[in-house]
Amino acid sequence: MRADVLPLLKRGEPEYSYVADDMSEAFTRALDAALQGASRRVIERTHARARMLARRMVEQCDESTTESLRASVNAALGVDIQAALQMQSLGGVLEAAQQANVALIKSIPQQYLDRVSTQVLTALQQGRRYGAIVEAIQKETDVTERRAKLIARDQTSKLNSAITEARQTALGIEEYEWVSSNDERVRESHAENDGKVFRWDSPPETGHPGHDVNCRCSARPIINLDNE
């Protein structure tokens, strides 16, 4: 986006830095074409990679979550359940998660491009100079990058939670112990849940670990030998 638009704005600064109404029709058309062209290329690249990125994220979450469950059961029972885990069917949990992440990945650049276009056009109408426009675009870029990281962390937590629930319940594990991160960033309600036992079919008011935005808590399986 910046590589397409900023050079044009730099060259055309005399046309818009004082009176927006004096901008030539040629400059306006060129700017509109640059914005649309940049948007189209970014969206095409993002859409082409979205499914691959989403699949990789789901696979990584499934691998780490499954290994954690395997280790917990092995520690409790002295049994390696890798074969059982490999045979599990998660009932579309992974596919649903992948589809949701594809949609999110596609939405971020589109929203960013819309906001940048609005920033540029508003700045031109106000007669702002090139440096101010660059600063506004950079600020919007920084906000989008932070938002993308927040979404990635949040989706990872939610995905880990969904896979954990699906794999534990598929093994007949009905309860879990809430394990918080035990630091100053933990929500008060989650700190209160720490160490308590909950059922998968009866979540606490907070929801299961990972349900809240950016929740870093986890669910340690309760292996009830009396039910074996």
Query: Tell me, which fold does domain 1-172 have in CATH?
Result: Four Helix Bundle (Hemerythrin (Met), subunit A) (1.20.120)
Sheet of 175-179, strand order: 197-199, 175-179, 218-221
Our CA angle for 68, 72, 74, nearest 5°, is 115
The count of other CB atoms within 10 Å of the CB of residue 156 is 19
Our CA angle for 75, 80, 82, nearest 5°, is 125
* pTM of the full structure: 0.70
Determine contact, residues 155/96, Cβ cutoff 8 Å. no
DSSP string for 107-148 = HHHHHHHHHHHHHHHHHHHTT--HHHHHHHHHHHHHHHHHHH
- CATH code 1.20.120 region(s) in the chain: 1-172
How confident is the prediction along the chain (228 residues), in pLDDT tens digits per residue?
555 566 655 655 554 444 455 556 666 777 777 777 777 777 787 877 888 888 888 899 999 999 999 999 999 888 899 888 888 877 688 888 888 888 888 888 888 888 888 887 787 777 777 787 778 788 888 888 888 888 888 888 999 999 999 999 999 999 999 999 989 999 999 999 999 999 999 999 999 999 998 899 999 999 876 654
